[in-house]
Amino acid sequence: MTTTYDFEDTPSNYDDVQRQGGQDAVYDPNFVPDSVKSFVVHMYRHIREKNVYEIHQMCETSFQTLSERLFKDTPWPSVEAIAPYVDNDHVFCLLYREMWFRHLYARLSPTLKQRIDSYDNYCSLFQVVLHGVVNMQLPNQWLWDMVDEFVYQFQSFCQYRAKMKNKTEQEIALLKQNDKAWNVYGVLNFLQALVEKSTIIQILEQEKEGLEQFTATDGYDYSGGSNVLKVLGYFSMVGLLRVHCLLGDYHTGLKWLQPIDITQQGVYISVIGCHIATIYHYGFANLMLRRYVDAVSEFNKILLYIYKTKQYHQKSPQYEQLLKKNEQMYALLAVCLSLCPQTKLVDESVNSQLREKYGEKMMRMQRCDDEEFGIYDELFSYACPKFITPSAPSFEEPLVNYNQDAYRLQLKMFLYEVKQQQLLSGVRTFLKVYSSISLAKLANYMEVDEPTLRTILLTYKHKTHSVGSDGKVISNADIDFYINNDMIYVVESKPAKRYGDFFLRQIAKLEGVMNDMDRIKLE
């Protein structure tokens, strides 16, 4: 049975006082409302008792309710203020500060000092997990939020630091003084250390041989141990994928994700935010590496999943983020299918939504003109991650903003790839029509000479093939060809037809009709 907490026991004028004058005028970090005392006392007790269900309820419901009621425009009480109510427990205070900073980032604009303090808190928390004796069971949602927020705050700090133009002398002095804060090597080292110390890669390997039950238990330890290090290590692999995508190193990002088989059920599915982040970054990385079939396949699956289940997440704090990522993945799917027409890989309902959102733009993206580039530019800019420049600025030069440099570079590389594929849509159109055609005839149709046509055909071969994660060459094309004695022979791939979805839809319709008939009372 879930514990209920009394949110009405704060002073009657507390909300009114908060609405007057803003954060600076009313926020007292040492004032702890009774409901917050109750919250931290119960949370501390549940953590000590390893009551995962109650901890999850408090994080996802109670914390959000209290934040909405009492701390909409202010931070929570300071850790020093609540520490006496939890026996000054060091680890609990680190966990409380993690939530404190997460709330601050979500509701307010953190100062540079607060950004640095948050990094220090993460360092202390991860050091305890890596080198201390942690005997806790925490909900997967909270452990994912830790990794997710750690990467988000790193990204946010890099964007903040890159806006040098309007920095004050005090801010510049503080940046120089704290040059190790949110250093890219520090962030990567912590995530990698969590992966290695947790031995999660070996655990997942052993699971394939039936020697482990990590996925079956959703990462929880039912023998009285702790799930914290193992699950943090697991989610850190997704965190490393995300960081490397932000840096533009897609190959390394996908390499870190390899131990997680995303074609199977896994712990990453147990947290909707992790599930979406995993597939979004996996799909985007494959798009940038020209592995369009892999990207289309996974985007299709996650979009179908969201389409069927999003109504169950409406009360979740992550619901808005879910909808945003859903729209971004539809945009990325439109880009993939425009560069590599593989509509057979897309489910009917997903394809219907896609046509509704981007049908007209996808038609225009098939043309070889400046308008086409404009649409690719628009969709990429809307759907791409917020790329970062991880290096510290040079404080000696004239101070300029460089927060858009990484994004512009990735956009430039992407549009360069699009431009290289301009002529390929024309080639594909002719190859779809003919089963065989002479080089001379096709060159005449395309209004180019034969040597140029050979170059175009080689480009088509190159651009429709890529190197897979296992090092083998894979094809992204729905048609292939070979040349023999100046003749082009076309081989159209015919994927196996899938009848299961059709029959399932018809069965569901039939059940609906039968239910309607049962409700009709015959006279």
**What is the per-residue pLDDT for 497?**
58
Q: Are residues 445 and 349 in the same domain?
A: no
Q: Is residue 373 part of a domain?
A: yes
Q: Are 153 and 119 in contact (CB under 8 A)?
A: yes
Q: Is residue 120 part of a domain?
A: yes
Q: Does residue 12 carry a pLDDT above 60? A: no
Percent of the residues in the chain that have a pLDDT greater than 90, as a whole number: 55
Q: Are residues 333 and 466 in the same domain?
A: no
Q: Is residue 31 part of a domain?
A: no
Phi-psi category of 161—alpha, beta or left, where left has phi over 0 and alpha has psi -120 to 50? alpha
Half-sphere exposure of 16 (CA within 13 A, CB side): 3
Q: Are 100 and 76 in contact (CB under 8 A)?
A: yes
Least-confidence region, from 30-39, 57-66, 82-91, 444-453? 444-453
**Per-residue confidence at 30, pLDDT binned at 50, 70, 90?**
very high
Last residue of a domain, one of 415, 443, 465: 415
Beta bridge partners of 492: 479
The radius of gyration computed from the CA coordinates of the chain, to the nearest angstrom, equals: 27
Q: Is residue 330 part of a domain?
A: yes
Q: Is residue 268 part of a domain?
A: yes
Task: Identify which of 291, 277, 202, 205 has the alpha carbon closest to the alpha carbon of residue 240.
Answer: 277
Specify the number of domains making up the chain.
2
**What is the per-residue pLDDT for 1?**
44
Report the chain's terminal Cα–Cα distance, integer Å.
Answer: 48
What's the whole-model pTM score?
0.85
**What is the per-residue pLDDT for 492?**
67
Q: Is residue 455 part of a domain?
A: yes
Least-confidence region, from 397-401, 450-454, 468-472? 468-472
Q: pLDDT tens across 233-246, in order? A: 999 999 999 999 99
Q: Are residues 323 and 270 in the same domain?
A: yes
Q: Are residues 153 and 274 in the same domain?
A: yes
Q: Are residues 212 and 316 in the same domain?
A: yes
The span from the CA of 172 to the CA of 472, in Å, is: 48
**What is the per-residue pLDDT for 452?**
84
Q: Is residue 137 part of a domain?
A: yes
The span from the CA of 209 to the CA of 294, in Å, is: 26
Q: Are residues 365 and 463 in the same domain?
A: no
Percent of the residues in the chain that have a pLDDT greater than 70, as a whole number: 92
Q: Does residue 4 carry a pLDDT above 70? A: no
**What is the per-residue pLDDT for 501?**
67
Last residue of a domain, one of 415, 443, 469: 415
Q: Are residues 259 and 317 in the same domain?
A: yes
Last residue of a domain, one of 385, 415, 445: 415
Q: Are residues 268 and 336 in the same domain?
A: yes
The span from the CA of 298 to the CA of 288, in Å, is: 15
Q: Are residues 148 and 217 in the same domain?
A: yes
DSSP-derived letter for residue 343 is G
Q: Are residues 349 and 484 in the same domain?
A: no
Q: Are residues 144 and 185 in the same domain?
A: yes
> Can you tell me the mean pLDDT for 330-342?
90
**What is the per-residue pLDDT for 423?**
66
Q: Are residues 334 and 449 in the same domain?
A: no
**Per-residue confidence at 493, pLDDT binned at 50, 70, 90?**
low
Q: Does residue 496 carry a pLDDT above 70? A: no
**Domain span at residue 483?**
434-491
Q: Is residue 512 part of a domain?
A: no
**Per-residue confidence at 499, pLDDT binned at 50, 70, 90?**
low
Q: Are 488 and 461 in contact (CB under 8 A)?
A: no
> Can you tell me the mean pLDDT for 425-453?
82
